[in-house]
Chain A
């Protein structure tokens, strides 16, 4: 059974870079059928897609975050990572890693990590 697990610091200082890693277990990140992405949810608020990556390294980003976001993949470790630069309090949220198909009618965020809370605070 495929599982995703986020890891990284729970607190990041304003203006610094948020860095998270998602470890995939129970399956290969190099599957040709799937994309791997990041979604966040501020406390008590809704969901926001941040971006996604294919195992080859092809990336797609939310236009509103694109200038600050970098998503990368390490197939040897079965991991993918998120970097979000110049963070402010508005970036405080639960960050989820997800899997989706990336195309077609079935392209939904089907598998989610448990989420990790990141607080931006000095």
Chain B
């Protein structure tokens, strides 16, 4: 099983700042099949990024994904108030597993 470890557990930032979220895999993710989701309180998760770096339809370009193999990053270039919530990475190269999440909170 591929275990995904996200860091930091909590990220406290102000609107306008840059956010960098990390997702590290216990072994290489086949074909870089890595997805990023955003979940706000009381809502279902929403797909942000497919295939490590492809933005989903309707996702603002301030969200970007990068990385390959075992190390992946989600970057939010300039935080907006609506960007705060919990972010999950998930791989589907070998079965399906999620990271434990990074909570992005307002500083």
Q: Give, as a whole number of angstroms, the nearest-CB distance from B41 to chain A.
A: 11
Known contacts A46-B88, A62-B95: A107-B44 contact under CB 8 Å:
no
Interface size class of B (residues with CB under 8 A): 20 to 34
B88 proximity list for chain A (CB < 8 A): 46-47
Chain A residue nearest in CB terms to B100: A46
| Complex CA distance for A63 and B94, rounded to whole angstroms | 11
B82 proximity list for chain A (CB < 8 A): none
On chain A, the number of residues with a Cβ less than 8 Å from chain B's Cβ atoms is 20
Q: Are B95 and A60 within 8 A (Cβ)?
A: yes
Known contacts A63-B1, A105-B50, A109-B47: A47-B90 contact under CB 8 Å:
yes
Q: Are A47 and B98 within 8 A (Cβ)?
A: yes
Q: Are A112 and B95 within 8 A (Cβ)?
A: no
Q: Are A48 and B98 within 8 A (Cβ)?
A: yes
B44 proximity list for chain A (CB < 8 A): 96, 112-115
CB contact between A110 and one of B47, B51, B99 (< 8 Å): that residue: B47
Task: Say what secondary structure dominates the interface of chain B.
Answer: loop
Query: For chains A and B in complex, what number of residue pairs have CB atoms within 8 angstroms?
Result: 51
Q: Are A47 and B92 within 8 A (Cβ)?
A: no
B31 interfacial contact with A, CB 8 Å: yes
| Complex CA distance for A109 and B36, rounded to whole angstroms | 10
Task: Say what secondary structure dominates the interface of chain A.
Answer: loop
| Complex CA distance for A108 and B48, rounded to whole angstroms | 10
A49 interfacial contact with B, CB 8 Å: yes
Given contacts A46-B98, A62-B96, 16 further A-B contacts (CB under 8 A): A46-B100, A47-B37, A47-B88, A47-B90, A47-B98, A47-B101, A48-B98, A49-B96, A49-B98, A106-B50, A107-B33, A107-B92, A108-B37, A109-B35, A112-B45, A115-B44
Offer 29 A-B interface pairs, CB within 8 angstroms, sorted by A: A46-B98, A46-B100, A46-B101, A47-B45, A47-B90, A47-B98, A47-B101, A49-B95, A49-B96, A49-B97, A49-B98, A62-B95, A62-B96, A105-B33, A105-B51, A105-B54, A106-B50, A107-B33, A107-B92, A108-B37, A108-B56, A108-B92, A109-B35, A109-B37, A109-B47, A109-B90, A110-B47, A114-B44, A115-B44
